[in-house]
C-alpha cells in the first residue's frame, strides 16, 4: 500500500514538473519561446545584431511572432544548432546551406535578391595593360584567390578551371590566398599577381567597394572570365519547423522587404533588396560544385 501511494506521489510530482516546463516553454513564437533566428558571422557581429533586432521588431508586427536574434561564432555553429533544433531559422550562404540540408534536413525557404537578381558569379579579373584577356592567358602566371573556402573567391573559380579541362592546383605558377576580395583586387591592381578571383553580380562586382581608395580601378582592371551562376544566399529553416510557422515567416519577410522601413533594414543587414521563394533543387548546382571540390563542413570556418 505504501509503495503504491509513493508511486502515485512520484507520478503527480513528475506531472507537475512537466506542466511547469510546458508553461515556461510556451507556444513556439511566444514571449517565453521565441523563434530563434541565427545570422552567419560574415560581417561585423554588432552591426548584424542591430540590424537583425530591427528586422525582428518589424517581423513581430507583421507576423505576431516573437523572435530572438543571434550571431553564433561560426558558420558551422549555425549549421549544427539548426541540426539540433536550437536554431529555427538560419541565414545561410549557398554552400553551407547544401551541407546543412544534406546532413540535417535543413530546408531553404527563401533566396535573397540583390540588384533584382537571385544569382551571382565568381569573376576573374586582370589588369587591362597586361594583354591578359582570357582565362587561358593566365595559365602559368601568378594568381590571387580569396579565402580558401570562399564561394566566389576560390571554390567556383577553381571549378571553372577544372571544368575547362585543367588542374587548378597546377594551373598557375604561383598562388596566394589574399583573404578578402579587396585584397585580391589590390594585389591585381598593384601587379603583385597577374589575375585574381572576386565576387561578381549583375552589373556590379567587388571592385566597386574599393573605388574610394582606387578611383581608376574599373579602368585599370577588367573581367576576363566568370564561373557558372550561383544562387544567392538563403533564409533556411530547421527540419520539423511547423509548416504554418514557416509560412508566417516567409510571408512576413516578403511583406517587410516591400515596406520602406523594411527595405532599409534588410539592406543594412546583408545588402539585400528582397526575397524570392525557392526550393532545394535550385541549389543542386551548388551541391555538385561542393562535391567536385571536396568541400567539407569542417572547412567552412578555417
| pTM for the model | 0.82
The CATH 3.40.190.10 portion of the chain extends over: 35-117+232-299, 119-230
Angle of helix 243-257 relative to helix 260-270, nearest 10 degrees?
A: 100
* Cell reading at 216: 581608376
What gap in Å lies between CA 70 and CA 41, rounded to an integer? 10
Domain boundaries 119-230, CATH class:
alpha beta
What gap in Å lies between CA 109 and CA 77, rounded to an integer? 20
Q: Name beta bridge partners: 210.
A: none
* Cell reading at 104: 540535417
What gap in Å lies between CA 242 and CA 262, rounded to an integer? 25
Render pLDDT for 124-143 as a digit per residue (tens, 0 to 9). Answer: 999 999 999 999 999 999 99
Angle of helix 284-292 relative to helix 94-104, nearest 10 degrees?
A: 90
Tell me how far CA of residue 221 lies from CA of 55, 133, 141, 204, 215, in angstroms. 38, 10, 16, 14, 11
Render pLDDT for 140-162 as a digit per residue (tens, 0 to 9). Answer: 999 999 988 889 999 999 999 99
Render pLDDT for 79-133 as a digit per residue (tens, 0 to 9). Answer: 999 999 999 999 999 999 999 999 999 999 999 999 899 999 999 999 999 999 9
What gap in Å lies between CA 71 and CA 44, rounded to an integer? 10
The fold of the 35-117+232-299 domain, in CATH, is D-Maltodextrin-Binding Protein; domain 2 (3.40.190)
Alpha-carbon dihedral angle through residues 131, 133, 139, 141, given to the nearest 10 degrees: 50
What gap in Å lies between CA 105 and CA 282, rounded to an integer? 16
Amino acid at each position: 500500500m505504501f509503495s503504491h501511494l509513493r508511486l502515485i506521489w512520484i507520478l503527480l510530482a513528475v506531472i507537475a514538473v512537466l506542466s511547469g516546463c510546458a508553461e515556461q516553454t510556451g507556444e513556439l513564437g511566444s514571449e517565453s519561446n521565441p523563434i530563434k533566428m541565427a545570422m552567419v558571422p560574415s560581417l561585423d557581429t554588432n552591426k548584424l545584431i542591430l540590424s537583425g533586432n530591427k528586422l525582428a521588431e518589424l517581423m513581430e508586427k507583421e507576423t505576431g511572432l516573437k523572435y530572438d536574434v543571434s550571431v553564433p561564432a561560426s558558420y558551422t555553429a549555425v549549421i549544427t544548432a539548426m541540426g539540433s533544433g536550437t536554431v529555427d531559422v538560419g541565414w545561410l550562404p549557398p554552400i553551407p546551406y547544401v551541407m546543412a540540408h544534406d546532413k540535417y534536413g535543413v530546408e531553404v525557404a527563401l533566396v535573397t535578391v540583390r540588384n533584382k537578381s537571385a544569382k551571382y558569379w565568381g569573376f576573374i579579373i586582370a589588369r587591362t595593360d597586361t594583354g591578359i584577356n582570357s582565362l587561358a592567358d593566365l595559365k602559368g602566371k601568378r594568381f590571387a584567390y580569396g579565402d580558401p573556402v570562399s564561394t566566389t573567391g576560390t571554390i567556383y573559380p577553381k571549378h571553372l578551371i577544372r571544368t575547362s579541362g585543367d588542374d587548378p592546383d597546377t594551373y598557375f605558377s604561383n598562388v596566394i590566398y589574399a583573404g578578402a576580395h579587396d585584397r585580391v583586387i589590390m594585389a591585381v591592381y598593384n601587379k603583385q599577381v597577374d589575375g585574381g578571383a572576386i565576387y561578381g553580380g549583375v552589373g556590379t562586382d567587388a571592385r566597386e567597394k574599393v573605388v574610394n581608395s582606387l578611383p581608376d580601378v574599373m579602368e585599370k582592371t577588367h573581367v576576363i572570365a566568370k564561373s557558372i551562376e550561383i544562387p544567392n544566399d538563403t533564409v533556411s529553416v530547421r527540419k520539423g519547423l511547423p509548416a504554418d510557422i514557416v509560412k508566417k515567416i516567409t510571408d512576413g519577410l516578403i511583406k517587410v522587404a516591400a515596406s520602406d522601413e523594411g527595405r532599409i533594414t534588410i539592406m543594412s543587414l546583408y545588402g539585400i533588396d528582397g526575397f524570392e521563394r525557392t526550393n532545394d533543387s535550385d541549389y543542386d548546382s551548388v551541391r555538385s560544385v561542393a562535391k567536385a571540390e571536396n568541400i567539407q563542413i569542417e572547412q567552412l570556418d578555417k
